[in-house]
Structure 1
Amino acid sequence: MPDFPADFRWGVSTSAYQIEGATAADGRGPSIWDTFAREPGRIVDASTGDEACDHYHRYAEDTALLAGLGVSAYRFSIAWPRVQPTGAGPANAAGLDFYDRLVDGLLAAGVDPVATLFHWDLPQALEDAGGWLNRDTAARFAEYADLTAARLGDRVKLWITLNEPFVHMSLGHGMGVHAPGRVLLFDAFPVAHHQLLGHGLAVAALRARTTSPVAIANNYSPVRLAGDTDADRAAAAAYDALHNRLFTDPLLGLGYPDAPGFDPAVVRDGDLDVVAAPIDVLGVNYYNPTGIRAPEEGSPLPFEIVPLDGYPRTAFDWPVAPDGLRELLLHLRDRYGDALPPIQVTESGCAYDDVPDADGRVHDPERIAYLDGHVRAVHEAIGAGVPVTGYFVWSLLDNWEWAEGFTKRFGLVHVDYPTQRRTPKSSYTWFRDLVRR
Structure 2
Amino acid sequence: MKRQDGFPEDFVWGCSTSSYQIEGAASEDGRGPSIWDTFSHTPGKVVQGHTGDIACDSYHRWREDVALLKELNAGAYRFSVSWTRIQPDGKGKPNQKGLDYYSRLVDGLREAGIEPWLELFHWDLPQALEDAGGWRNRDTAFRFEEYARIMYKAIGDRVEHWTSMNEPWCAAFLGHLTGEHAPGLRDREKTSRAVHHLLLAHGLAARAYREGGFKGEYGLVINAAKPRPATLRPEDVEASERASIERTSLWLDPVFGRGYPELFMQHFGSQMPIEPGDMDIIAAPIDFIGVNYYNEDAVRAALLSEENPYGFEYVPTWQRKTEMGWDIEAQGLRRILMHIARNWPAKVLYVTENGAAFADAPSPDGVIRDYDRIEYLREHLAACRQVIADEVPLKGYFVWSLMDNFEWSFGYTRKFGLVSIDHITKARRPKLSFYYYRDAIAGFGL
- TM-score of the alignment, normalized to the shorter chain, above 0.5: yes
Q: 1:264-290, CA deviations, whole angstroms, 9 ceiling, x for partnerless residues?
A: 652122111111111011111111112
CA distance in 1, matches of 2:378, 2:384: 10
Q: Distance in 1 between matches of 2:158 and 2:379?
A: 33
Report Cα offsets for 1:335-376 as digits up to 9, x if no partner. Answer: 12xx22200110011000112212211111111111111111
Q: With structure 2 as the length reference, what TM-score do the two structures score?
A: 0.94
Q: Residue 136 of structure 2 contacts residue 190 of structure 2 at CA under 8 Å; is this kept in 1? A: no
1:301 corresponds, among 298, 308, 311, to 308
* Contact kept in structure 1, 2:160 and 2:215, CA below 8 Å: no
Counterpart of 2:47 in 1: which secondary structure? coil
SS in 1 for 2:424: coil
What is the deviation of 1:157? Answer: 2.2
Query: How big is the shift at 1:221?
Result: 1.6
Matches within 5 A, 1:32-431: 32-185=35-188, 187-209=190-212, 210-226=214-230, 232-233=236-237, 235-260=239-264, 261-263=267-269, 265-295=272-302, 300-302=307-309, 303-336=311-344, 339-431=345-437
Give the Cα–Cα distance (whole angstroms) in 2 for the partners of residues 409 and 164 of structure 1. Answer: 20
How much has 1:408 moved relative to structure 2?
Answer: 0.2
Q: Secondary structure at the match of 1:429?
A: helix
TM superposition shift of 1:305: 4.3
8 Å CA contact 1:83, 1:92 repeated in 2: yes
Whole-Å Cα distance in 1 between the matches of residues 369 and 422 of structure 2? Answer: 15
Q: Identify if the C-alpha distance between structure 1 residues 62 and 305 changes in structure 2 by more than 3 Å, giving closer, same or farther.
A: farther
2:55 counterpart SS class: coil
Contact 1:241 1:257 in 2 (8 A): yes
CA–CA distance in structure 2, aligned partners of residues 95 and 111 of structure 1? 21
Q: Letter of the aligned partner of 2:66 in structure 1?
A: T
Tell me what 1:21 maps to.
Answer: 24
Structure 1 contact 203–277 (Cα < 8 Å) conserved? yes
- The CA deviation string for residues 234-254 of structure 1, in whole angstroms up to 9 with x for no partner, is 543332111111001111111
AA aligned opposite 1:275: I
Identity of aligned residues (%): 46
Hey, what's the Cα distance between the residues in 1 that align with 2:62 and 2:316?
39
Find the residue that maps to 1:277 and give its secondary structure: coil
Whether the 8 Å CA contact 1:14–1:77 is kept in 2: the answer is: yes
State TM-score, norm by structure 1.
0.96
* Deviation (angstroms), 1:232: 4.5
For residues 275 and 428 of structure 1, what CA distance do their matches in structure 2 show?
38
Question: 2:129 and 2:51 mapped to 1: Cα distance?
Answer: 20
Distance 2:18 2:90 in 1: 18
- What is the CA distance between 1:406 and its match in structure 2? 0.5
Gaps of 5+ in 2: none
Aligned partner letter, 1:54: D
Q: Distance in 1 between matches of 2:249 and 2:388?
A: 22
Give me the whole-angstrom Cα distance separating, in 2, the residues matched to 1:259 and 1:35. Answer: 35
Alignment RMSD (CA, Å): 1.6
SS of the counterpart of 2:94?
A: coil
C-alpha distance in 1, partners of 2:412/2:218?
32
Larger displacement relative to structure 2 (119-128 or 207-216)? 207-216
| Cα distance change on mapping 1:8 and 1:58 into 2, 3 Å | same
Aligned residues: 435
Aligned-partner residue type, residue 118 of structure 1: F
CA contact (8 A) 2:298 2:317 kept: no
Q: What secondary structure does 1:268 align onto?
A: coil
The structural deviation recorded for 1:84 is 0.5
Deviates more, 1:181-190 or 1:132-141: 181-190
Distance across 2 between alignment mates of 1:183 and 1:147: 33
Note the C-alpha offset of 1:296.
6.0
5+ unaligned residues in a row in structure 1: which ranges? none
- 1:93, distance to aligned residue in structure 2 (A): 0.5
State the AA in 1 paired with 2:216: S
Deviations 1:308-356 (A, max 9, x none): 41111101010001100111111112112xx222001100110001122
Corresponding letter in the other structure for 1:256: Y
Supply the AA of the counterpart residue of 1:241: I
CA distance in 1, matches of 2:325, 2:63: 34
Q: CA deviation at 1:208?
A: 3.1
SS of equivalent to 1:249:
helix
